Amino acid sequence: MTDKPQGPDRPPGREAAPPAQGVWQARVITLFPEAFPGVLGQSLTGRALDEGLWRLDTFDLRAFGIGRHRNVDDTPAGGGAGMVLRADVLGPAIEHAMAGTRGRWPLIYLSPRGRAMSQALMHDLAQADGVTLICGRFEGVDERVLEHYAVDEVSLGDFIMTGGEIAAQALIDATVRLIPGVLGNAASTENESFAAGLLEHPQYTRPATWKARDIPAVLMSGHHGEIASWRRAMSEQMTRRRRPDLWAAFRNRE
């Protein structure tokens, strides 16, 4: 007897209401919906979530599992270690999670082989109507799913994690903070790292002297032009020293 997806009596997962007009929404497909909102429910992102500036919905992948035990994975075709998420489980979950979406709504799989997350990507996602994220587990997902749904693969970095939930939260956090009204001060995002292709300049605050280290005198001078020049010079110096790849890209754009 062949395993088949559960019938209409299986839990359908969480139904996501269409977002209110103008409200950015994140929909997350995961085996661990209880991991959300996690840190996203704290501080500025949590306050913005409570205030309805953005919306978060999770979809339990296990609800789409196959057979009595709701299996979601199987051994790799051709052999090998680990398990792979099944196409006939993840496919229905994607279609369910994407139901009712409209406008520009990327579908992203958090994957170590994807393109690296960047500030430019976050700005692009913040301009979309929402995003649906697939949190992988085990050895990954059946390639046919990625091909069929034209899934965009995005990576948190060149390392392997046990699943995509932390990467998903990082992506959501970096995107939500760009939504108007979340930070409260739009200027907060204008001079930070990567905004102009450079790392951010050093920051200081009171006390003026700490452990025999003083705040640079120019920052206490009140001369805004000199302060701006100093900050620019420090950004260039820090980028050149710490991220030669960014520095080269910056110089190529000049």
pLDDT tens digit sequence for 78-118: 999 999 999 999 999 999 999 999 999 999 999 999 999 99
Mean pLDDT for 185-208 is: 79
For residues 47 and 173, the answer to whether their CB atoms sit within 8 Å is no
Does residue 8 form part of some domain?
A: no
Could you tell me the pLDDT band of residue 2, with boundaries at 50, 70 and 90? very low
User: Both 138 and 196 in a single domain?
Assistant: no
Domain carrying residue 57: 24-176
Could you tell me if 168 and 197 lie in one domain?
no
pLDDT of residue 11: 43
Mean pLDDT value across residues 17-41? 90
* Of residues 24, 16, 52, 20, the one with CA closest to residue 129: 24
What's the confidence (pLDDT) of residue 124?
Answer: 98
The domain boundary, picked from 120, 145, 176, lies at 176
15 part of a folded domain: no
Whether 86 and 198 map to the same domain: the answer is: no
Do 101 and 209 have their domain in common? no
Residue 197 lies inside a defined structural domain of this protein = yes
- CA–CA distance, 100 with 89 (Å, rounded to integer): 20
**Confidence class of residue 7 from pLDDT cuts 50, 70 and 90?**
very low
Q: In terms of domains, do 93 and 154 share one?
A: yes
Q: What is the CATH number of the domain that holds 151?
A: 3.40.1280.10
Q: Are residues 123 and 56 in the same domain?
A: yes
Largest CA distance in the chain: 80
Q: Which of 132, 147, 176 marks a domain boundary?
A: 176
Tell me what pLDDT residue 22 has: 82
Beta bridge partners of 108: 133, 152
Residues 58 and 123 in one domain: yes
Q: Please state which of the ranges 9-18, 139-148, 197-206 shows the lowest mean pLDDT.
A: 9-18
pLDDT recorded at residue 5? 44
pLDDT in tens, 112-166: 999 999 999 999 999 999 999 999 999 999 999 999 999 999 999 999 999 999 9
- The answer on 205 and 153 residing in a single domain is no
pLDDT at residue 222, as a whole number:
97
Q: What is the mean pLDDT of the chain?
A: 91
Give the integer Cα–Cα distance in Å for 219 and 22. Answer: 40
**Same domain membership, residue 120 and residue 218:** no
Domain termination residue (choose one: 176, 207, 240) = 176
Q: Mark whether 28 and 148 lie in a shared domain.
A: yes
- pTM of the predicted structure, to 2 decimals: 0.87
**Does the pLDDT at position 174 exceed 70?**
yes
* Whether residues 31 and 67 fall in one domain: yes
Residue 245: inside a domain, yes or no?
yes
State the CATH number of the domain containing residue 208: 1.10.1270.20
**pLDDT confidence of residue 184:** 80
Each residue of 56-74: pLDDT tens digit?
999 999 999 999 999 999 9
Q: How many domains does the chain have?
A: 2
| 164 vs 8 pLDDT, higher one | 164
Q: What is the pLDDT of residue 18?
A: 63
| Residue 5 falls inside a structural domain | no
Under the banding of pLDDT at 50, 70 and 90, the label for residue 191 is: low
Confidence of residue 6 (pLDDT cuts 50, 70, 90): very low
User: Residues 77, 169: one domain?
Assistant: yes
Residue 146 belongs to some domain of the structure: yes
Residue 15 vs residue 241, higher pLDDT: 241
pLDDT for 41 equals: 98
- What CA–CA distance (Å, rounded) separates 223 from 238? 22
Residue 246 belongs to some domain of the structure = yes
Distance between CA atoms of 213 and 36, rounded to whole angstroms? 41
In a domain, 181, yes or no: no
CA distances, 8 to each of 61, 69, 79, 121, 155 (Å): 16, 16, 33, 38, 35
